[in-house]
Structure 1
Amino acid sequence: MRVLLTSSGITNDSIREALTGLLGKPIAEASALFIPTALLPFPGGPQMVWKAIHGPLGDLGWKSLGLLELTALPSIEETAWVPAVREADVLLAYGGDPLFLADWMRRSGLAALLPQLRPEAVYVGVSAGSIAATTTFAETYTDPPRPLDGTPVVFDGGVARTLVTGEGVGLVDFAVIPHLENPNHPDATLANAETWASHIAAPTYAIDDDTAITVTDGVVRVVSEGQWKLFQPIDRGQDPECS
């Protein structure tokens, strides 16, 4: 399976070209399934789901677009949803709560299914959808989900949060910190990202909303019209090809 991890979706021509390159065909010829699950833990989640589906990611001009809600899958027969996942060209995992999303990817059976999908199928992550695809990650919470405990931290700018580490589904062997230097995400400064990454025992990419990471056959490439930084643990691998 090929992977495209983004901060805010397909935000520029470079990321769009990366997506079509992974697909090997125009977006208009590709079928997609939209996964909104990470939005559900938030107040107003149903409204946010509607807006997300009808937002830029859903309106790229897909040949077909379906909805895959992971919390519903354990209550229905696999024959009702597994064929649709196997046949889709793209899985679009939207943002929200990465701990919630990673948990439901496992509980629904999707995580176990992903390695069995066609090599040319593409997983597209947005924010939490990107974070949950990793092997290990860290996220900050004002009030961490119970029964999780975390490390109290005060980030650059005096923002107090609790840093919680989590286990993703392991599509990639690095971590992602999205929304770098986005004023709507005040935690995501470069200084804070360095603190965050120091708690993750894996290479960690901090990416802004104009940056994406592709993985094809184990080859990692950063595609960017913006800002990004790799925090690399000592003696861990090499820098990726960049464009």
Structure 2
Amino acid sequence: MKLLLTSGGVTNRTIADALVDLLGRPIEESDALFIPTAQYGQPACSPVSVRNAIAGGLCDLGWKSVGVLELTALASIGADRWVPWVREADVLLVGGGEATYLAHWMRQSGLADLLPSLDETVWVGLSAGSMALTPRIGDEFVDWSAAEDDRTLGVVDFSIFPHLDYPDWPENTLASARSWATKITGPAYAIDDDTAITVVGDRVEVISEGHWEPLNAS
């Protein structure tokens, strides 16, 4: 699987160009599935925010088609229905919300087990949609009351502190990110909404028109 892990989505030309490179074709020739599940685990989100995410943001980039894949429903319809939908998609667009909740439903639905076989599929994560693939998110970002701890899926070997210097969240400073990283212990990145991380095989690359910093570098 090819990963485009973002904080705020496809917010500038550099990130958009990286997305097209990962797809290997224009956006308008690519079929997408949008996964809104993380929003349901985040107390700050609502039915209105889910609707807005589907109507805009990652879904509003000019895709050939966009479908919605709700992970909490998959176990009730059977893998024979939903697995072909995933395999036929060129890209999975994974919205923000609560990362431990998203990771939980990725396991419960079977999507987490399917990921290693999706060699050519692109995963575009926004905030929690990116963080769910990391090993840990830190207690600061756990907002789902049923989460046992801050562990997520560990698809990649680094953690992400998103929304660095976001104007509406004054606590998301570089100093806070550095403090957060001391409790994560593994490698990590602090990234703002104009930054993304691409992962293809063993190659990890930060692409940015904004501000980012590697943390816990050895």
The two structures have a TM-score, normalised by structure 2, of 0.94
Contact 1:180 1:188 in 2 (8 A): yes
Instruction: Tell me the distance in 1 between the aligned counterparts of 2:151 and 2:36.
Output: 19
Contact 2:187 2:216 in 1 (8 A): yes
SS for the counterpart of 1:99 is helix
Instruction: Tell me the distance in 1 between the aligned counterparts of 2:125 and 2:96.
Output: 8
Instruction: Tell me the distance in 2 between the aligned counterparts of 1:144 and 1:78.
Output: 26
- Give 1:109's aligned amino acid: G
Write the deviation string for residues 157-212 of structure 1: whole angstroms up to 9, x where unpaired. xxxxxxxx522222211111110000222331100001111111321100000000
What are the equivalent positions in structure 2 for 1:68-87 lying under 5 Å apart?
A: 68-87=69-88
Q: Give the share of equivalent positions with the same residue, in percent.
A: 53
Describe the shift of the 1:43–1:3 C-alpha distance in structure 2 as closer, same or farther (beyond 3 A): closer
Equivalence for 1:63: 64
Q: Which runs of 4+ in 1 moved over 4 A?
A: 141-144
- Give 1:89's aligned amino acid: D
Instruction: Tell me the distance in 1 between the aligned counterparts of 2:198 and 2:87.
Output: 21
For the aligned residues, what is the CA RMSD? 1.6
Instruction: Tell me the distance in 1 between the aligned counterparts of 2:99 and 2:141.
Output: 11
1:204 aligned residue (167, 175, 188): 188
User: Aligned pair 1:195/2:196, yes or no?
Assistant: no
- Give 2:49's aligned amino acid: M
What are the equivalent positions in structure 2 for 1:2-13 lying under 5 Å apart?
A: 2-13=2-13
Write the deviation string for residues 79-119 of structure 1: whole angstroms up to 9, x where unpaired. 110001011110111000111111111111110001111x2
Contact 2:194 2:210 in 1 (8 A): yes
Unaligned runs of 5+ residues in structure 2 are none
SS for the counterpart of 2:164 is coil
Instruction: Tell me the distance in 1 between the aligned counterparts of 2:89 and 2:142.
Output: 37
Describe the shift of the 1:88–1:142 C-alpha distance in structure 2 as closer, same or farther (beyond 3 A): closer
- Give 1:221's aligned amino acid: E
Instruction: Tell me the distance in 2 between the aligned counterparts of 1:108 and 1:36.
Output: 14
Contact 1:201 1:233 in 2 (8 A): no
1:178 aligned residue (146, 162, 165): 162
| 1:139 Cα offset (Å) | 4.2
Task: State the structure with bigger RCO (CA 8 A, min sep 6), 1 or 2.
Answer: 2
Equivalence for 2:124: 124
Instruction: Tell me the distance in 2 between the aligned counterparts of 1:58 and 1:144.
Output: 25
| 1:146 Cα offset (Å) | 3.9
The two structures have a TM-score, normalised by structure 1, of 0.85
Instruction: Tell me the distance in 2 between the aligned counterparts of 1:211 and 1:30.
Output: 23
Equivalence for 2:14: 14
Bigger radius of gyration, 1 or 2? 1
- Give 2:37's aligned amino acid: T
Aligned length: 217
Equivalence for 1:24: 24
Unaligned runs of 5+ residues in structure 1 are 149-164, 235-243
Contact 2:100 2:144 in 1 (8 A): no
Equivalence for 1:232: 216
| 1:135 Cα offset (Å) | 2.0
Instruction: Tell me the distance in 1 between the aligned counterparts of 2:147 and 2:79.
Output: 30
Describe the shift of the 1:3–1:144 C-alpha distance in structure 2 as closer, same or farther (beyond 3 A): closer
